[in-house]
Structure 1
Amino acid sequence: MDLDAVRTFVAAADAGRFQEAAAELAITQQAASKRIAALERHLGVRLFTRTPRGARLTIDGQAFLPHARELLRVAERAAASVRTGRRPLRVDVIASRVAPSGLMRGFHRAHPEIDLDVVMLFDVETAVAALRSGAIDASFRAVAMPGRPLPEDIASVRVLDEPHQLLTGPAHALARARSVTLAQLAGHRVWMPGIVPGTEWAAYYDDLAAEFGLTIEATGPNFGSDALLDTVADTPALATFTTERTRLVWPAGHDLRRIPVTDPTPVYPHSLLWHRDNPHPALATLRAHLAASTAGQDATGSWTPGWVLPRRTPPRRRGRPEHTV
């Protein structure tokens, strides 16, 4: 149904004259008459009776009027839901317990006036597709994986380098260490069943293991963090990696230890991705908030894979997009 015709019908019903309805809509009287005639043909009924004094609703017109008003209200609500600045900012944080989720909680506390939707997408390809389709406005990812550069219409900025820690049970050989070097971890089993081949975190841990001779195992089903903590607590030969801002809670009886990893400290590089043509005004606010809240948190003596985008991107050069790989 043509909403312009419905809008003209409502204006004519309120004004009682096609001429006044046309003036209100900034169209000609002839255009108003054509719109209403087309609507009558579509509905198969007469909506107005033309009189010397104007236009009077027929019984069918009176029956249609409240529904026509509702159609226009629904159309306005639909448009408002996607109008710039009127819909929530939609951000992918990957998972609920990891650092990006905490960063967005901080953003929400700092800017409660901004409506926010948080989603959790699995892999970088899904996230990039959602950015390009407009399904989300931003995503936190480690970019860019070898052989899989970001499309030129996707911008990114590295916002946080998150240090790793070793998580052990009380009987592990390293449980009493105040810190542990990557060299000391060689020969110990690090169990991470949540690693999924093809993801950016799988590429990260593959490179970490290869460069420092670590044994990182992803064997067995992934029953979630609670089951992982149970196993690490009860198995002296196993440890796992966690990151500094990952939220973990375990029973007191587990007596798990979070031990900093050093020389160098492996850091997980969180970048914010967004589509260059996304007009949502809250995107700029989010980027400014992240820049301010994570400033000065660069980890010295740290390690990241060679494929990770630099922490600071050189100024944009003419003819080349910023933050692409």
Structure 2
Amino acid sequence: MRVVAADHVGETRAAVLDGDRAIELHLERWSERGQRALRGEVFRARVTKVDGSLNGAFCEIGRGPTAFLPFGKAGRPEGLHEGAAIGVQIAREQFQDKGPTLTLFEVEPGEAPEIVVSAPPLAERLSMMFEAPVRTPKEADVALDELFDEALEAVVPLPGGGKLIIEPVTAMTVIDVDAAGRQSQGGAPKMALDLNKTAAREAARQIRLRGIGGVVAIDFLPLKKKQDQSQLDQTLKGAFKRDPAKVDVAPSSRFAIVELARQRLGRALHEIAWERFGVDNVETCALAALRRLEAEGQAKRGGRLALLAGKEVHAWLETDPIGWSKAMKSRLGDRFKLVLDEAKGARDFEVRPL
């Protein structure tokens, strides 16, 4: 395993690679520092409500929305009541409008709510998790930004022909397997089985790579033979064996659709980067502009640069909610200027010599 990370102004991007293939991508933004509770962090929480119908308690942890502590089969722990201060650890991070999920964790008595153990920076967490040193993209000869761009594409080409089409919707993620002109010398049934098995392995990789959680429906090519369907089921289950998240795979339906549920540990990549399907949010565009500025500044040392931005990106950068200007000056010096270019699209940008 290898961990590759880049600390940009505004965000840290990291990838976990198994051999030459990326298996996980992670993104941590400055704008969320101190705003989100991260998986593994420990808090002294205040119980705000015990809900018997949900067999759990809602807790205030002092960061982000109200969190939920499920009691499980053992039921309510002794001494846990509304107003109590308890130790908890983040088991699943908040996503969409749902707060974090907690587990009990022993802590010393004290004020609540309060953080007790903070998570280390992203690259350090991944290094400890995978027992691998952290390398920069240059050291590892990895085009990190290209990996992120590819992981936000809807279409994924498959080896030997065919493709996956990945579309997240509100309730689930839908993956379509498309033959796209794939040929086979063994006839249509063999082609369908071979393509489905290739698609199953790549779908499992893409799901983990993109951090997709919850329900996923994969629309495979129909298979007429039961033994072929059994092979596909085993291939799909086997493809998830090394996934750290729990994955439950249901039998294929009569319409060749396989449903699975992957444990949600955090947000998917698109939930951070997109405003809606396929559309980058303003922050994503603004941070891309800063990466371009930093790259140009390092390539042209001593040269003065202008960052020309459309009105939405310019407004975000001019407001400077993350302190990017000061951070960029510490890296490039005072040799860049932010310029509003009303002729550009609202979220477009360009870096030019001044």
**Structure 1 and Structure 2 fold alike (TM over 0.5):** no
Larger Rg: 1
TM-score by length of 1: 0.21
Say which structure, 1 or 2, has more relative contact order (CA 8 Å, 6+ apart): 1
The structure in which a higher percent of residues are helix is: 1
The structure in which a higher percent of residues are strand is: 2
